[in-house]
């Protein structure tokens, strides 16, 4: 159970139970679908953006606790961020999740609540759950309408 | 024949409780806990006897089959064709020519869809599948329907996960040329009334392919009694190797069907003007086959023949009853697939905990289950759910496995409380 608490931290369980920025966003500039065929995660990401900045963002869908919490945490962090900041965050989160991070503790501090996802790196089969929303966001700011699939 | 393990004497038919010891993979710790393997519907484990037969084939006997005059080629050919005859007897086919080795159920279905489908289907025809099919018994038919213009239709099911047989009868018409149906649903465990389905289809002149991937490890199959036209199954679902499977087909039908793939082995003579094809079953076995896989499958049949199948069926039914009863005591327990006739498969949801989270949590306790849509997305759509968790019980599982499984689910409930 101790190991599992590393993965399912309180922040994760809380964001799974009560996902933030959940629901459709009217007049979104980008609507991106993300699917994880392995476990049936399916999210839709709604993004409003102006001057290379995320003005508003929301998501809806169904998924495992990791994908829902990761999506929720991502929207919290991304709202108000510039595209440039998103790019940096994307790489930091990716490094943290895949475990090949050279980041020290202070880097994790910069990630704020996103650091709660660091336990995922011990569970390789779950990395795709945690990165789904981030890949959808990356597509949104790259101007793509393509559906994201983790397979 | 030195290449396969000697069949156990039928006089020594064994009870079920000791069989667990035959499976070496089960005797290990996962994440510090003794392994509880509840994913046999995805792929079953192999008994030592099957592993030994494959090792012997590799270490002592390997050579190409059907074409060498030397000793090893003869041994391999004997073992390969010997396996075919064992399988013929195991499912009571009339002739060894009716047993085609394939890579597995999926390839068996693709073979029929491609070869038979393309030669008989027109845009006026229909292929009938069901809502509970595995993707491998949907997509090959979709492909051939796209190519021929035929229409794919699906028999609905009720909320228990049982086929609506009235609707089935209504869907059957003189346009229906092929009915393709799973004997047992991998996602729900439902056992379909296959004899009724086949005889009804035959009454209107349709041919019937049965996807037997999930039935073959749980029940004795007699292809002549059920009178199916084709029966497809995989080695690895029946405690045998992966990458080898079988297509049974009635000889007259197989004879009339064009080859599926071209190459060596399936021809008699080749010239640029005209190629003549080999007879059955070689006509459908182009290229060098999975020889060791076939030998392993032959040994698997020997193994299954050593077990009292009626006792096995009862044992698995008791195990499912016990698991069902214990599971339903948990808060938020919901079983997906509550048909009257089921094999030992428990597909479920637990409160609002996602199946994938359950899979990870149980794995930490050394318990292997399957999570997801089980390659049966229409089933998930029917029940309005994205995924289920599935525990499937095999001859090597026991009540202690069920207890560990339930304890693991209690841990999940506590973690997500």
The CATH number of the domain covering residues in B56-305? 3.40.640.10
pLDDT in tens, B155-208: 999 999 999 999 999 999 999 999 999 999 999 999 999 999 999 999 999 999
Q: Which residues have CB under 8 Å from A53's CB, separation 6+?
A: A80, A81, A82, A83
CB interface of B with A, residues 336-375, below 8 Å: 353-357, 359-361, 364, 371-373
Are B116 and B178 spatial neighbours (Cβ–Cβ below 8 Å)? yes
Q: Which residues have CB under 8 Å from B241's CB, separation 6+?
A: B46, B50, B54, B235, B290, B292, B293, B296, B297, B300
pLDDT in tens, A55-82: 999 999 999 999 999 999 999 999 999 9
Task: Find the angle CA(A75)-CA(A1)-CA(B34) to the nearest 5 degrees.
Answer: 125
Q: Does B380 touch chain A (CB under 8 A)?
A: yes
pLDDT in tens, B2-16: 444 455 544 456 778
Measured distance CA(B234)–CA(B308) in Å, rounded: 21
Confidence of residue B1 (pLDDT cuts 50, 70, 90): very low
Contacts of B359 in chain A (CB under 8 A): 39
Q: Does A56 touch chain B (CB under 8 A)?
A: no
Query: Quick one: what percent of chain B has pLDDT higher than 70?
Result: 97
Q: Do A4 and B415 touch (CB under 8 A)?
A: yes
Q: Do B354 and A1 touch (CB under 8 A)?
A: no
Bridge partners (DSSP) of residue B276 are B269
Nearest Cα residue to B187 out of B137, B223, B113, B140: B137
Question: Of B372, B414, B415, which has the smallest distance from its Cβ to A38's Cβ?
Answer: B372
User: Quick check: A109 pLDDT over 80?
Assistant: no
- The domain limits of chain B are 10-38+307-415, 56-305
CATH 3.90.550.10 fits B10-38+307-415, yes or no: no
Measured distance CA(B291)–CA(A118) in Å, rounded: 46
Pick the more confident residue, A139 or B329. Answer: B329
Token readout for B139 is 């997509």
CATH fold, domain A2-149, is Sufe protein. Chain: A (3.90.1010)
Phi then psi dihedrals of residue B165, to 5 deg: -70, -25
Report the gap between the CA of A54 and the closest CA in chain B (Å): 30
Q: Does A41 touch chain B (CB under 8 A)?
A: yes
How many residues in chain B? 417
Q: Do B356 and A126 touch (CB under 8 A)?
A: yes
Q: Does B381 touch chain A (CB under 8 A)?
A: no
Nearest Cα residue to B169 out of B128, B131, B141: B128
Give yes or no: B375 in active site.
yes
* Side-chain-facing half-sphere of B164: CA atoms under 13 Å: 12
pLDDT in tens, B199-242: 999 999 999 999 999 999 999 999 999 999 999 999 999 999 99
Contacts of B414 in chain A (CB under 8 A): 1
């Amino acid at each position: 159970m101790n190991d599992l608490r590393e993965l399912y931290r309180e922040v994760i369980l809380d964001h799974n139970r009560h996902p933030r920025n959940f629901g459709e966003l009217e007049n979104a500039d980008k609507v991106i679908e993300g699917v994880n065929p392995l476990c049936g995660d399916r999210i839709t990401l709604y993004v409003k953006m102006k001057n290379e900045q995320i003005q508003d963002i929301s998501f809806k869908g169904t998924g495992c606790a990791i994908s829902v919490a990761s999506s929720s945490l991502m929207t919290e962090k991304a709202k108000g961020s510039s595209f440039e900041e998103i790019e940096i965050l994307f790489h930091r989160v990716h490094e943290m999740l895949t475990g090949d991070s050279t980041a020290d503790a202070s880097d994790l501090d910069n990630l704020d609540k996103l650091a709660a996802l660091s336990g995922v790196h011990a569970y390789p089969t779950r990395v795709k759950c945690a990165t789904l929303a981030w890949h959808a966001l990356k597509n949104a700011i790259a101007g793509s309408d393509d559906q994201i699939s983790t397979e | 024949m030195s290449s396969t393990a000697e069949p156990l004497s039928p006089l020594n038919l064994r009870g079920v409780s000791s069989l667990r010891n035959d499976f070496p993979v089960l005797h290990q710790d996962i994440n510090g806990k003794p392994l509880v393997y509840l994913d046999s519907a995805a792929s079953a484990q192999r008994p030592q006897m099957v592993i030994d037969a494959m090792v012997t084939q590799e270490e002592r006997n390997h050579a190409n089959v059907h074409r060498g005059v030397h000793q090893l080629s003869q041994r391999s050919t004997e073992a390969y064709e010997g396996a075919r005859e064992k399988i013929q007897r195991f499912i009571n086919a009339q002739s060894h020519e009716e047993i085609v080795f394939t890579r597995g159920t999926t390839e068996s279905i693709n073979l029929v869809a491609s070869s038979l489908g393309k030669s008989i289907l027109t845009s006026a025809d229909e292929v009938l599948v069901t809502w509970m099919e595995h993707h491998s018994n949907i997509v090959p038919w979709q492909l051939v329907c796209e190519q021929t213009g035929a229409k794919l239709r699906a028999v609905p099911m009720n909320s228990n996960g049982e086929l609506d047989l009235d609707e089935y009868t209504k869907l059957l018409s003189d346009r229906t040329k092929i009915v393709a149906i799973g004997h047992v649903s991998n996602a729900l465990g439902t056992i379909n009334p296959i004899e009724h389905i086949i005889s009804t289809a035959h009454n209107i002149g349709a041919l019937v392919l049965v996807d037997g991937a999930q039935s073959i490890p749980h029940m004795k199959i007699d292809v002549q009694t059920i009178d199916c036209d084709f029966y497809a199954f995989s080695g690895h679902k029946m405690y045998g190797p992966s990458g080898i499977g079988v297509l049974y087909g009635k000889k007259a039908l197989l004879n009339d069907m064009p080859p599926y793939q071209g190459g060596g082995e399936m021809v008699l003579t080749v010239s640029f003007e005209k190629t003549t094809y080999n007879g059955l079953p070689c006509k459908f076995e182009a290229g060098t086959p999975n020889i060791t896989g076939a030998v392993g499958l032959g040994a698997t049949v020997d193994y299954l023949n050593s077990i009292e199948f009626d006792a096995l069926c009862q044992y698995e039914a008791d195990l499912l009853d016990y698991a069902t009863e214990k599971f339903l005591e948990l808060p938020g327990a919901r079983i997906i697939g509550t048909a009257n006739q089921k094999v030992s498969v428990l597909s479920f949801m637990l409160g609002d905990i996602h199946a994938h989270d359950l899979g990870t949590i149980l794995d930490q306790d050394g318990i292997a289950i399957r999570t997801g849509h089980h390659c049966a997305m229409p089933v998930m759509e029917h029940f309005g759910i994205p995924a289920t968790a599935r525990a499937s019980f095999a001859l090597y599982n026991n009540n202690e496995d069920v207890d560990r499984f339930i304890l693991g689910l209690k841990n999940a409930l506590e973690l997500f409380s």
